[in-house]
Amino acid sequence: MQLSLFWLVAMIACAIFVDVLRPFPITQMNLGTRLAPPGTPGHWLGTDELGRDVLSRLIQSVRSSLVIAFGATLLSAFFGTLLGFMAAKFRGVVEHVVVMLADFQAALPFLIMSLAVLAFFGSSMPLLVCLMGFYGWERYARITRGLAISANAQGYAAAVVQLGATPSRVYLRHILPNVASTLIVSMTLTFPEIILMESSLSFLGLGVQPPDTSLGNMVGFGREYLTTAPWIMLSPATVIVLTTLAISLAGDWLRDRLDPTLDSIS
């Protein structure tokens, strides 16, 4: 648990202090030391096929991937929750539309749609974040709609309404904190998926564009050297695995801490 928090803090620190931490500019090439293995003095994680320092590129990649993944997760959680609450509040036509959109989203091959959008509009960071933000919102919408409806039907929310609370108070002060633990778990599931999705897009050449770099982009370009210089690909892959794992663990921990009914267990 502490390890995963430590890792996340380290990753976020990496993302913020990129410019200080990075030993070399990410585009600085040095053909004399290309494909240097890890442990080479000055290039602790080795260099890639153009002699660029893998460590520097890795640190830069963490920033772009985290920005995309955090931005997109928050965006999809926000819209999903909003739509779910709207469906629960207004029922009727609004609910039908939201549920239909959610079904549509779930049935959509998201990767192919992203490819189309990115191919059409060209890739840029804000567009990538927004596009990834569309990923997974239907899960939040379904969860919040279901939980809010059941709370409204007979539970605490109905009781608070009967106390005279305004809808905004009911939803923000009572229902949202009660569904937050479920939402957080859902976020920790979407977060790794978005990192992987961004990796796939970058791998296909439609995500983050060179010379800028992201974790997926590094994996994609390192693939060709998998047999001769595996470190180019393995180091970003390791970071992806560790970060997603850490997020999942931290999410579990956070959910337990946020729930007063679980106090007695821990």
- 115 part of the interface to another protein, by CB under 8 A: no
- 168 part of the interface to another protein, by CB under 8 A: no
Q: How far is 112 from 72, CA to CA, in rounded Å?
A: 18
Of 174-193, which residues contact another protein (CB under 8 A)? 174, 177-178
Q: How many residues at the interface with another protein, by CB under 8 A?
A: 20
Nearer to another protein, 91 or 223 (CB): 91
- 260 part of the interface to another protein, by CB under 8 A: yes
Tokens, residue 52: 């660029």
Q: Is the peptide bond before 41 cis (omega within 30 degrees of 0)?
A: no
Piece of 20-28, 56-64, 134-142, 258-266 that binds another protein (CB under 8 A)? 258-266
Distances 102 to 135, 142, 227 between C-alpha atoms, Å = 11, 8, 43
70 burial level (CB within 10 Å; 0-12, 13-18, 19+): middle
The two counts, helices (H) then strands (E), for the chain are 12, 0
Nearer to another protein, 124 or 166 (CB): 166
Among residues 169, 189, 196, 242, the one that binds another protein under rule CB under 8 A: 169
Among residues 40, 124, 166, 238, the one that binds another protein under rule CB under 8 A: 166
Of 143-162, which residues contact another protein (CB under 8 A)? 154-156, 158-162
CA angle 69, 75, 77 (to 5 degrees): 100
Nearer to another protein, 171 or 231 (CB): 171
DSSP string over 225-244 = GTTT-THHHHHHHHHHHHHH
**Contact set with another protein (CB under 8 A):** 154-156, 158-167, 169, 174, 177-178, 259-261
